Amino acid sequence: MYSKDDLNKVVLGDARDILLGFPNSFFDCTITSPPYWKLRKYTGETVDPREIGQEARVEAYVLHLLEVFDLVHKKTKHTGSLWVNIGESFSGGRPLGVPEWFLHMMTRTRPWILVNKVIWYKVDAMAESQTRRFSQKWEPFYWFVKNMDTYYFNQEAAKIPVTKVTVERMKYDFKPSDKLAVSRMRGIVGNQSDKIDMYLEKGVNCGDLWAMPTAKVKVKHVAPFPEALVARPLVATCPDDGVTLDPFAGTGTVQRATLKLGGGRSTIGIDLNPPAVEEANELLKEVKLQPGLF
Ligand SMILES: C[S@@+](CC[C@H](N)C(=O)[O-])C[C@H]1O[C@@H](n2cnc3c(N)ncnc32)[C@H](O)[C@@H]1O
C-alpha cells in the first residue's frame, strides 16, 4: 500500500495495477491525457499487451479507459476533480466520435459528474494534409467531479486579466437602453460599473475556450501536455497540501507542474513505458532542485 512517503515520482506499471495500491479517497485532482486509439505505439513494436490504445476494437479501448477511471473515482476524495483531455480516433479516415462516446459512458454509466466541457484550441496546431475534411484545431478537456455539492474550486486562482482596452470599449458600448450591451457589461464588471477597477485588478472567469499552444518542451517522448494547459486546472482544483495524479503520466508534465506550484502539494504519475518513466523521473529531479519556479 502506498502512503504520502511514496509520492513525487512516476511509477512504472499498468495504471489499473498501480492504482489498487493506493488508499481510497487519496487524490485531490487527476489531470490526464490518455493515449489515442491506434495512433502511436508507446511501448515499442512488440507492444506491451497492457498498453491502452492498441486494442483491435475501439469498443475495447473505451472500456479499458473506463476501468482506469473507475479506479480513479474510488481513489479520489469527495472534494476531488478529474480532468481528461481525450482526442478523436479515426477509422478509414472517419471520425468515430470517441470523446463524445467516452463522455456519455462516464456520466451515464458511471458516477462521474461533468462540470465543464473545456475546448482546448491549439493555436499552433500543425497543418494536416487532409483533402476530404477540415483539419483538427481543438480537443476537448473534460472536467468531472465526484460530488457536485462538495467539490473544491478556487475560481479566483484561475482568473485571467481584463485588459484596459476591453473595459474602455465596454464602457463606450454601454447604453442603458441597449439590453445586449447592458448584459455584456454585467458579464464583465458585474452589476456595479463603479467596481471596474476592482475587476481590472482581480481579472475575470477564464471561460471554457482555452487558446493555448501545444507543448514545446524538449522530451524524447511524444505528445506531452503543454504545462500551461495543466497549470489552470491545477490552481483551480488542487488545494494547498493536495495530491495530484496522472495515470498516463508520459513525461510527467503534471508531476513537474505540481511541484513547481508548491504550497505543500504532492503528486504521483503512472506509466507503462520504461524509457518515459526514466525520463520523467530525471526531469522531476531537476524541478525538485529548483522549487517555487511556477
Ligand atoms: C498521451 S501520452 C501522455 C503524455 C503525458 N500527458 C505527458 O505530458 O507527457 C499517454 C501515455 O499513456 C501510457 N499508457 C498506455 N497504456 C497505459 C497503461 N495501461 N497504464 C499506464 N500508462 C499507460 C503510454 O505509455 C503514454 O506514455
Query: Both 145 and 183 in a single domain?
Result: no
How far, in Å, CA of 292 to CA of 288, rounded? 9
User: Looking at residue 2, what is its pLDDT?
Assistant: 81
Q: Is the CB of 54 under 6 A from ligand 1?
A: no
The answer to whether residue 294 is domain-embedded is no
By most ligand atoms within 8 Å of CB, the mutation choice from 272, 277, 281, 282 for ligand 1 is: 272
Q: Is the CB of 276 under 6 A from ligand 1?
A: yes
Query: Both 107 and 179 in a single domain?
Result: no
| In the block, residue with C-alpha cell 462538495 | 150
What single DSSP character describes residue 19? H
Counting every residue written for the chain, the total comes to: 294
Residue nearest to atom 24 of ligand 1 (CA): 42
Q: Is the CB of 271 under 6 A from ligand 1?
A: yes
71-124: pLDDT as tens digits: 999 999 999 999 999 999 988 888 999 999 999 999 999 999 999 999 999 998
How far, in Å, CA of 7 to CA of 21, rounded? 13
How far, in Å, CA of 7 to CA of 225, rounded? 21
Query: Both 29 and 172 in a single domain?
Result: no
User: Looking at residue 218, what is its pLDDT?
Assistant: 66
Query: Both 82 and 168 in a single domain?
Result: no
Ligand 1 mean position to 240 CA, how many Å? 26
Query: Which secondary-structure segment (H or E) carries 61?
Result: helix 58-75
- Which of the listed residues 145, 172, 204 is the one where a domain comes to its end? 204
User: Looking at residue 195, what is its pLDDT?
Assistant: 61
User: Looking at residue 131, what is its pLDDT?
Assistant: 81
Strand locations in the chain (E): 9-12, 27-32, 76-85, 90-91, 94-95, 113-122, 138-145, 209-212, 243-246, 266-271
Query: Both 51 and 105 in a single domain?
Result: yes
CA distance to 15, 34, 255, per residue, from 252 (Å): 14, 13, 5
The answer to whether residue 47 is domain-embedded is yes
How many domains are contained in the chain? 2
Closest-CA residue to 198 (of 237, 250, 159, 231): 159
Q: Is the CB of 224 under 6 A from ligand 1?
A: yes
22-52: pLDDT as tens digits: 999 999 999 999 999 988 888 777 888 999 9
Name residues of the chain where pLDDT drops below 50.
Answer: 294
Q: Which atom of ligand 1 is nearest to the CA of 50?
A: 19
Is residue 219 helix, strand or coil?
Answer: coil
Query: Both 117 and 190 in a single domain?
Result: no
How far, in Å, CA of 210 to CA of 86, rounded? 15
Ligand 1 mean position to 225 CA, how many Å? 11
Q: Is the CB of 33 under 6 A from ligand 1?
A: yes
User: Looking at residue 193, what is its pLDDT?
Assistant: 57
User: Looking at residue 196, what is its pLDDT?
Assistant: 61
Total-model pTM:
0.89
Query: Both 96 and 126 in a single domain?
Result: yes
Domain that holds residue 197: 160-204
Q: Calculate the CA 198 to chain-centre distance.
A: 30
Question: The domain that contains 230 carries what CATH number?
Answer: 3.40.50.150
